[in-house]
Amino acid sequence: MRAVLMERFAGPLVVTELPDPTPPEDGVVIEVKANGVCRSDWHAWMGHDPTVPLPHVPGHELAGVVAAVGPLVRRWQRGDRVSVPFCCGCGVCPECRSGNHQVCPTQFQPGFSAWGSFAQQVAIPFADANLVRLPDNLGYTAAAALGCRFMTSFRGVVDQGRVRAGDWVAVHGCGGVGLSAVMIAAALGARVAAVDIDAERLALARRLGATVTVLVTPEQDPVPALLDLTGGGAQVSIEALGHPVTCANSVRCLARRGRHIQIGLTLGEHSQVSLPMDLVIGRELEILGSHGMPAHRFGAMLGMITAERLDPGRLIGKTITLDEAPAELEAMGRFAQQGVTVIDRF
């Protein structure tokens, strides 16, 4: 199969021929039809994630067709159209039995703990617990746009943030995660304040449902503007970038008893974050993380898509070939993308 291979962190990425994978006894091999290019892949390439082995194939936002099935798999067969969460639970530990596969201590992460889906095929274990059946009317490219960004935002907004109609939701950072959060919160009837340093991204956020936008400059603290626009603070604030400054701003812009949802990865030099705990205490704020979404929760998200309340395809900025993926991944470090980039030709 053709795949993108990295042999050292931050080193050259090459498209090469690799052996076809075989299915684990409890897993499947998926023929990849589309795959998102995510900043998490960039972190893996940079060596920010200690679980990534070398040599390595990145990629985790996949949609495709089951091509081979292990002997212990009961729910899936060849030809099924599927996607998969980026964090696959084992299905048998206490966390998985409670429905929280996304924090399984022995979880499998394609593109991180094992070879991923910047390839024509990828092997996925724990298939019965983790595969997601795609609706017939959802194309592979749009399904790949659900990836870790959209589904993590869905869980962050809906399950962790508990966003309701009429709430103010601040979204800090309008990359793929942030734009997904804007779209989902707006679909729930919330009022959304989108925050970014790029005017074009803010214009896209408005088209996706943002009520107001705040353009951040080096000289401007966005929090006073957010407090004014929201009439005293947001009920929910989403940090979608993974930077210490925006983490603190997200907490600072909350109304009393508001909820800060941390979705952006704080890795590498940004792994340690200082938050204004005086405000957390004085305003009784909640600080919540959001790490993916288990397969059994995809139904709620897919239901909103089939009902045409959400359209992840609107997030797609461009589609590329597998041969273009190395340059696209490297560009992630410069925040050069508008919307979500999807590989759809392998």
pLDDT in tens, 107-135: 999 999 999 999 999 999 999 999 999 99
pLDDT of residue 269: 76
Q: Which residues does residue 31 pair with via DSSP β-bridges, in sequence order?
A: 65, 121
Q: Which residues of 30-40 are buried (b: 16+ CB within 10 A; e: fewer)?
A: bbbbbbbbbbb
Residue 177: closest CA among 199, 146, 204: 146
Residue 124: closest CA among 116, 133, 136: 116
pLDDT of residue 48: 87
Could you read off the pLDDT of 57-82 as tens digits, one per residue? 999 999 999 999 999 999 999 999 99
Computed over every residue of the chain, the mean pLDDT equals: 94
Q: What is the mean pLDDT of residues 194-203?
A: 95
pLDDT of residue 303: 93
What 3-state class would DSSP assign to 78?
coil
Q: What angle do CA 98, 111, 154 make, to 5 degrees?
A: 50
Distance CA 112, CA 46 (A): 12
Could you read off the pLDDT of 235-281 as tens digits, one per residue? 999 999 989 999 999 999 999 999 999 998 887 777 788 899 999 99
Locus of tokens 């009022």: 191
The full set of domains in the chain, from first to last, is 2-149+293-345 (3.90.180.10), 150-289 (3.40.50.720)
